[in-house]
Amino acid sequence: MNKAQPLSGLGLAMRAGKLVTGDELVLKSIRSREAKLVIVAGDASANTQKKFRDKCGSYNIPLIIGFDREALGRSVGKPERVVLAITDPGFTEMIRKAILKTSEVEYIE
């Protein structure tokens, strides 16, 4: 499986306006329950990973920790990105399926 595959879905979601990036925007989308899936870079700090693991857990939003910040940034045409949220159920499903087939992910809930 090509590891670019799940990430190419992120680029599509970004172009469709169905993706938010950055700590504050992602936290806001979790609190408003707009986020359908949150992805945190595997090389994010332990603090950041815990913050999003706890927040997603309390709002019952799926969380994936994996890839690295360069790969996430590249996939959405931006510099490094540590956290992304997908706000569209269709993109979420497509990306989840693609990610389940790759070994680049260390944590999914």
pLDDT at 109: 61
- What is the crossing angle of helices 89-100 and 4-15, to 10°? 170
Q: Contact at 8 Å (CB) between 41 and 72?
A: yes
55-101 pLDDT, tens per residue? 999 999 999 998 899 999 999 999 999 999 999 999 999 888 887 77
pTM: 0.90
For 104, other C-beta atoms within 10 Å of its C-beta total 15
Rounded to 5 degrees, φ, ψ at 72 are: -65, -45
| Domain spanning 7-108: CATH 3.40.50.720 | no
Residue with tokens 């809930």: 109
